[in-house]
């Protein structure tokens, strides 16, 4: 019998409560009447078939009854039904959107083989943070490693691709042959690197990405254009008022730090470090960076002349707090792998935000690009026309100097700023999406609560109107109660907002998390939404027929 009672749980609970004992008694009686083993087996087969068919039918009947009851309820109270449906739809939509975004950002595995077993190793050298790993150290790590199944090395390298069609700048990676196998990458055509490609004297080997292979095939090393000639050509273009060049344009992630010390002192691993850029003399005027003290770079700061160095205001305050930055002789680059620049500080320039807008200015030093030339730099142009016109002129000027010199990443400063804040902007937009959903839920919830309260007070409203209350008074009654409810919610929300907005500090720029104007604007918006949500129930209450309301009770 315990098995039979367990099978009865296939029926709905309400069905079991009404018929379960009776069905169990009937089965017990039939079980006693079944004399032999064969009869008992036939009984159990018939019982199983009966329960399987009837349990499904019982669930279907119960579902139809529930749906019919829900339909009747919705017809009697359409406002309440619409509120419930809207809340359910918004809740399901918000949950689905949140899960989809969270799954894509946090949980979806990387497109590599065994991504949970991949780790990245860095070299940390006393106070310098993460530094590049030398080839000798990599070989030693690989030889002595006992914890890793395989180890490979890689590094970024951008190059010009020319030869056929328009030259372009392409991003690349140099890497050891093990990297592709570690990542589980297989070629569509051809082969990947092998041990023989890294042997001394081996011919060079390249592996193209699928996207580059689809776009074009082939390439040769492009020639660099003399800096001064390029800038002169750009300044001669119509609508161009200034042009300059820099290695490490702010907000692009293209800068590097270097240790420094006073000239004539021996190297020391405890030396301070700062951001180091090299810029042309016209760069600061083009970008609107003022020279605060001393002078900027001039035509006399040329190759072979004593090196001139500029320092930002924040660097001057941090490293020379007594205000004696001018005249200091500094040497950059204590380690063999660092760029070595040595010279005299001749000026202090304004601060710029290097990494992100929300962060404070980064202490920086500038060397003269004419005195420390590099084959990688960014050109900045200040023009009076549109960005497209200035870009077209820049391409023409470069093509006139060297037809095979690639021009890449043409962007206005506004575009660079937008890209630098793309991640926090995405997070803010995501928060705004959820805030909008919360606002709609708030409006629908207030409407539902006030509408339900009005339906419960129909008799009271009828009595008030029978005693002489006009429709305006009834509307004020309902609106007053709704506004008091909303005001209490807004007050509690503001208190919570002041306590929790500190968590949003990383997404804010030049505005504090406790900004009173923002909080006041949001409070007014929520109050207006709450008031709008109370209007419909208030109008409905003012149209109540007193006699019908009294008869309904």
- The C-alpha atoms of residue 225 and residue 232 are separated, in whole angstroms, by 12
Residue 298 confidence (pLDDT) above 50: yes
Average pLDDT over residues 531-537: 77
HSE of 333, CA atoms in CB hemisphere, 13 A: 12
Highest mean pLDDT among 108-112, 313-317, 472-476: 313-317
Residue 338 confidence (pLDDT) above 60: no
pLDDT band at 492, cuts 50/70/90? Answer: confident
- The C-alpha atoms of residue 280 and residue 380 are separated, in whole angstroms, by 10
pLDDT band at 281, cuts 50/70/90? Answer: confident
Pairwise pLDDT comparison (546 vs 96), residue with the higher score: 96
Residue 275 confidence (pLDDT) above 70: yes
Average pLDDT over residues 316-341: 73
Average pLDDT over residues 297-324: 85
Residue by residue, DSSP assigns 211-280 as HHHHH----BPPPPPPHHHHHHHHHTSTTEEEEEEEES-TTTT--EEEEEEETTSPP-TT--EEEEEEE-
Pairwise pLDDT comparison (312 vs 393), residue with the higher score: 312
Residue 46 confidence (pLDDT) above 80: yes
Among the ranges given (97-101, 222-226, 289-293, 494-498), the one the predictor scored with the smallest mean pLDDT: 222-226
| pLDDT score of 214 | 59
- The C-alpha atoms of residue 14 and residue 177 are separated, in whole angstroms, by 69
Pairwise pLDDT comparison (547 vs 530), residue with the higher score: 530
Q: Which helix (H) or strand (E) holds 293?
A: strand 291-294
| CA 168 vs CA 187, 212, 253: distances in Å | 24, 11, 20
Pairwise pLDDT comparison (449 vs 325), residue with the higher score: 325
Residue 232 structure tokens: 């002169």
pLDDT band at 473, cuts 50/70/90? Answer: confident
pLDDT band at 219, cuts 50/70/90? Answer: very low
| pLDDT score of 337 | 41
Residue 91 confidence (pLDDT) above 80: no
Per-residue model confidence as pLDDT tens digits over 365-399: 888 888 877 767 788 888 776 777 777 777 888 77
Would the pTM of this model clear 0.75, i.e. be above it?
no
Residue 550 confidence (pLDDT) above 60: no
Among the ranges given (208-212, 316-320, 458-462, 509-513), the one the predictor scored with the smallest mean pLDDT: 509-513
Share of the chain above pLDDT 90, in %: 1
- List own/partner pairs for 318-325 with CB under 8 A and 24 or more apart: 318/363, 319/272, 319/274, 319/363, 325/293
Residue 305 confidence (pLDDT) above 60: yes
Per-residue model confidence as pLDDT tens digits over 148-197: 888 888 877 777 777 656 677 777 888 888 888 888 887 766 788 888 88
Residue 287: which of 228, 246, 343, 315 has the closest Cα?
246
Residue 254 confidence (pLDDT) above 70: no
Residue 319 confidence (pLDDT) above 60: yes
Pairwise pLDDT comparison (297 vs 269), residue with the higher score: 297
Pairwise pLDDT comparison (125 vs 157), residue with the higher score: 157
| pLDDT score of 61 | 87
Average pLDDT over residues 304-323: 85
In terms of DSSP bridges, do strands 256-262 and 154-161 run parallel, antiparallel, or are they unpaired? unpaired
Residue 334 confidence (pLDDT) above 60: no
Give strand ranges (E) for 318-433.
329-332, 341-349, 364-368, 378-383
| pLDDT score of 495 | 80
pLDDT band at 222, cuts 50/70/90? Answer: very low
How does the average pLDDT of the chain come out, rounded? 77
| pLDDT score of 223 | 40
CB 518 within 8 A of CB 511: yes
Quote the DSSP letter at residue 333: -
| pLDDT score of 450 | 74
- The C-alpha atoms of residue 316 and residue 292 are separated, in whole angstroms, by 11
């Amino acid at each position: 019998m315990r098995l039979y009672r367990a099978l009865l749980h296939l029926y709905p609970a309400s069905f079991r409560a009404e018929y379960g004992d009776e069905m169990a008694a009937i089965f017990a009686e039939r079980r006693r009447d079944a004399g032999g083993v064969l009869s008992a087996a036939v009984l159990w087969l018939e019982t199983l078939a009966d329960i399987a068919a009837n349990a499904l039918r019982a669930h279907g009947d119960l579902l139809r009854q529930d749906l019919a009851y829900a339909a009747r309820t919705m017809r009697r109270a359409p406002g309440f039904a619409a509120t419930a449906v809207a809340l359910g739809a918004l809740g399901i939509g918000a949950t689905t959107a949140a899960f989809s975004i969270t799954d894509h950002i946090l949980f979806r595995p990387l497109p590599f083989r065994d991504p949970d077993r991949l780790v990245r190793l860095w070299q940390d050298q006393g106070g310098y943070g993460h530094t590049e790993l030398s080839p000798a150290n990599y070989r030693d790590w690989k030889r002595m490693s006992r914890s890793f199944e395989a180890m490979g090395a890689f590094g970024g390298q951008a190059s010009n691709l020319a030869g056929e069609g328009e030259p372009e700048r392409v991003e690349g990676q140099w890497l050891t042959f093990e990297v592709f196998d570690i990542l589980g990458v297989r070629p569509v055509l051809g082969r990947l690197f092998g041990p023989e490609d890294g042997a001394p004297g081996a011919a060079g080997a390249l592996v193209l990405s699928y996207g580059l292979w689809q776009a074009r095939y082939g390439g040769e090393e492009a020639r660099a254009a003399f800096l001064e000639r390029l800038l002169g050509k750009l300044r001669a273009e119509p609508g161009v008022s200034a042009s300059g060049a820099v290695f490490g344009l702010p907000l692009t992630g293209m800068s590097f730090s270097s240790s420094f010390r006073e000239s004539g002192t021996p190297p020391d691993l405890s030396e301070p470090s700062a951001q180091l850029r090299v810029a042309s003399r016209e760069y600061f005027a083009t970008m609107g960076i003022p020279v605060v003290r001393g002078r900027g770079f001039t035509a006399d700061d040329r190759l072979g002349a004593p090196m001139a160095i500029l320092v930002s205001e924040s660097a001057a305050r941090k490293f020379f707090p007594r205000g004696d930055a001018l005249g200091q002789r500094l040497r950059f680059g204590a380690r063999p792998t660092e760029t070595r620049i040595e010279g005299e500080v001749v000026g202090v320039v304004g601060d710029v935000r290097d990494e992100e807008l929300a962060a404070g200015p980064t202490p920086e030093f500038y060397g003269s690009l004419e005195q420390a030339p590099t084959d990688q730099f960014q050109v900045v142009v200040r023009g009076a026309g549109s960005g497209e016109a200035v870009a077209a002129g820049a391409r023409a000027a470069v093509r006139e100097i060297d037809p095979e010199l690639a021009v890449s990443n043409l962007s206005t400063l506004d575009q660079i700023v937008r890209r630098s804040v793309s991640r926090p902007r995405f997070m803010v937009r995501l928060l705004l999406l959820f805030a909008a959903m919360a606002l709609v839920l708030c409006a629908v919830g207030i409407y539902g609560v006030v509408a339900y309260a009005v339906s419960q007070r129909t008799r009271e409203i009828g009595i008030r109107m029978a005693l002489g209350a006009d429709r305006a008074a009834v509307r004020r009654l309902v609106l007053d109660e709704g506004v008091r409810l909303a005001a209490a919610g807004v007050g509690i929300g503001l208190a919570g907002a002041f306590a929790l907005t500190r968590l949003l500090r990383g997404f804010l720029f030049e505005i504090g998390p406790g900004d009173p104007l923002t909080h006041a604007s949001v409070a007014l918006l929520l109050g207006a939404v709450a008031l709008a949500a109370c209007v419909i129930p208030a109008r409905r209450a003012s149209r109540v027929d007193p006699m019908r309301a009294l008869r309904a009770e």
